[in-house]
């Protein structure tokens, strides 16, 4: 498997790169900070790319020609534009241009149909970001790609717990360690059963008691 990771120098992106390299995948890391990309060492080939430049993004995708793309991008430009929307959209469009059918987009719980089940606190804190991510999700769904959207709950750092789980249910909420999220994403990349699905990702031990009918989405045991 050859993957192209956008947002590779972020806290989740670094886990994606290291874990994919550890299982023997060929990894190409894309980001805007050359020094931070160099910090990834021998785990990945690298490309510096400005997500605000759609032509640059398309060039990277076409040149790398990966089997799959993972997009874990976000943040804001000085003018207030949100990478969560324009960056994700540029990546999605570049996949079409480059003929890469498989794309996994990391979004967030409280987007789209999961918003009614989110806390008022999270909506008040990052409402515009969630709206931007929702628009990026909608854009991806309109494209003829084998996409998967993964919406993690609250993200934490620290050691792997092994308790990360996916749910095909927008009612889910909870927390997940970034290292566990990365493992779930990589397993999803190689799982055709996740094509064209929007999945929630949380640590199963953080699920609330209600609703009581939540069921895990079954993934293959390994990539």
Question: Domain of 199: which CATH number?
Answer: 3.40.50.720
Let me know if residue 216 belongs to a domain.
no
pLDDT tens for 41-93 read 999 999 999 999 999 999 999 999 999 999 999 999 888 899 999 999 999 99
Let me know if residue 39 belongs to a domain.
yes
Rounded distance between C-alpha atoms, residue 31 and residue 113, angstroms:
30
DSSP tally for the chain: helices H, then strands E = 6, 10
Tokens of 202: 């949380």
Let me know if residue 218 belongs to a domain.
no
Tokens of 123: 């909506």
Mean pLDDT of 136-159: 97
pLDDT tens for 174-208 read 999 999 999 999 999 999 999 999 999 999 999 98
| pLDDT for residue 223 | 43
Let me know if residue 211 belongs to a domain.
no
| pLDDT for residue 221 | 72
Least-confidence region, from 119-128, 148-157, 170-179, 194-203: 119-128
% of the chain with per-residue pLDDT over 90? 91
Let me know if residue 45 belongs to a domain.
yes
Range of the domain at 125: 2-206
Q: Within 10 Å of residue 120's Cβ, how many Cβ atoms?
A: 7
Let me know if residue 217 belongs to a domain.
no
CB 158 within 8 A of CB 177: yes
Let me know if residue 13 belongs to a domain.
yes
Let me know if residue 161 belongs to a domain.
yes
Instruction: Give the chain's domain count.
Output: 1
Q: Within 10 Å of residue 223's Cβ, how many Cβ atoms?
A: 17
């Amino acid at each position: 498997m050859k993957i192209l990771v956008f947002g590779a120098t972020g806290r989740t992106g670094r886990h994606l790169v290291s874990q994919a390299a550890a299982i023997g995948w060929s990894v190409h890391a894309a980001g805007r900070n050359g020094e931070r990309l160099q910090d990834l060492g021998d785990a990945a080939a690298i490309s510096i790319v400005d997500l605000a430049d759609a032509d640059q993004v398309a060039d990277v995708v076409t040149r790398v020609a990966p089997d799959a793309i993972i997009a874990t991008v976000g943040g804001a430009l000085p003018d207030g534009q949100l990478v969560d929307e324009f960056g994700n959209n540029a990546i999605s469009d570049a996949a079409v241009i480059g003929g890469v059918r498989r794309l996994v987009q990391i979004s967030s719980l409280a987007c789209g149909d999961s918003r009614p089940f989110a806390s008022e606190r999270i909506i008040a804190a990052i409402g515009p970001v969630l709206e931007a991510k929702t628009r990026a999700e909608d854009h991806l769904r309109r494209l003829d790609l084998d996409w998967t959207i993964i919406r993690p709950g609250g993200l934490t750092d620290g050691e792997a717990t092994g308790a990360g789980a996916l749910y095909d249910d927008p009612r889910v909420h909870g927390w997940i360690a970034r290292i566990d999220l990365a493992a779930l994403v990589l397993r999803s990349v190689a799982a055709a059963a996740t094509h064209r699905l929007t999945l929630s990702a949380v640590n199963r031990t953080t699920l609330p008691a209600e609703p009581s009918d939540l069921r895990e989405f079954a993934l293959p045991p390994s990539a």
